[in-house]
Amino acid sequence: MKIMVFDVGGTEIKYSVMDEQMHRTDSGAVPTPQDTQAQFLDAVYRLYAPHKDEVTGIAMALPGFVDNHTGYVSNGGALLYNTATPVGQLLAEKCSCPVILENDGKAAAMAELANGALKGCCNAAVFIIGTGVGGGIIANGQLVRGVHFTAGEYSFVNTNAEAWDAPDQNMACQCSTSNLLKWYRARKALPEDAPLDGRSFFAAANAGEPEALEVLRRFCHAVAVQIYNLTVLLDVEKVAIGGGISKQPLLLESLRSAYDGLYASRAGQAYMEGLPRCQIVPCAFSSEANQVGVAAAYFEAMQKKC
C-alpha cells in the first residue's frame, strides 16, 4: 500500500509518496498558499493528481487544533484560513480518497516515540521550531491530545504576563525560526525584502559572524527558558528538537549551553536545586518527523478498519 503524505507548514508544503515500510519516493516541496483555503486545497490536489492511480489515500500533518478522528480544524494556527473548517472532509471530497489529518507536532511526537529519539521514554516532549512552534507531549508512554486536541500547542503559551495584550509575547513569536530571522534582520539592519532564511543565517553563524552568534545566543536563551518550563511542568526525560534548523549542530550546541546556563545562573543556584534536567536531543527523523508520524497514523487507522 502506498499513500500520499503531506507536511504542511506556514511557508511550504512538503510531500512524498510513502509505503508501509516508510520508504519515500517522489518527494518535494512547494510554497504554502497564504491567502485562501481554496488555493490551499487546489495546491494539494495538484500535487496529489499525478499519483492518484498509485496511492490509496492521503495523510496530512498540519498546524492547528486538529481533531484526528473527524479531520475538523478548530484553529488553523499558522494557516488561519483553515480555522473552523472540516479540512479532512474537504480534501477527501476534492481528491476522492480517504484522508487522515494530524497536528504537525503530534505527528512528530508519534514518529519519535515509535522509532526515533524518544523511543523507550515514559515522559518526553518534542519541540518543533518552524514558522511557529509545534509540540507534542508524551506522558506515561502515550501521546497526550487533550480534551480539545490542544495539548502541546506551545505557540499559544504566553511569555510575558505583564505584556498580555502585546501580539508578540508568546512562544510562536519568541521561539520560532521566524523570530530568529526577525531578530537577525533587525540586528543587521537588513531591508525587509532582503533574502534571508535559516540556511543563510546558519551559514553566517557557522562562519563565526559576531552578529549572528549574538542573535543565536539570545534566541537559544528564549527557547531554553521554555524547555525549562516544560521540564518543571512535565518532568520529562528528553525534549527532542525538530524543524528545519534542527539539522544544525550549532543550534543544539547553543541550546544545550543556554539550558545549562539557566541552572548555573544566580537564580538557578538560589532556588533550582533538586529540579530535574532533561536531555535535549535532535529529532531522529529531523524535519521528516511529521511525515513519518502521520503516515504511521494513516496505516494504523486503515488496519483498524479491516
How far is CA 217 from its chain centroid?
21
pLDDT above 90 coverage of the chain, percent? 88
197-238 pLDDT tens trace: 999 999 999 999 999 999 999 999 999 999 999 999 999 999
Q: What is the pLDDT of residue 117?
A: 97
Domains identified in the chain and CATH numbers: 2-107+288-305 (3.30.420.40), 120-283 (3.30.420.40)
3-state secondary structure of 64: coil
Confidence band (pLDDT; 50, 70, 90) for 272?
confident
- CA-atom Rg of the chain in angstroms: 19
Q: What is the pLDDT of residue 106?
A: 96
Q: What's the predicted TM-score (pTM) here?
A: 0.91
17-48 pLDDT tens trace: 999 999 998 999 999 999 999 999 999 999 99
Q: What is the average per-residue pLDDT within 65-91?
A: 97
- Could you tell me which residues are beta bridge partners of residue 15? 6, 28
Higher-confidence residue: 267 or 156?
156
pLDDT above 70 coverage of the chain, percent? 100
Confidence band (pLDDT; 50, 70, 90) for 270?
confident
Q: What is the pLDDT of residue 167?
A: 86
As a whole number of angstroms, the distance between CA 283 and CA 1 comes to 26
Residue 253: partners with Cβ closer than 8 Å, 6 or more residues away: none
C-alpha cell read off for 298:
494513516
Confidence band (pLDDT; 50, 70, 90) for 303?
confident
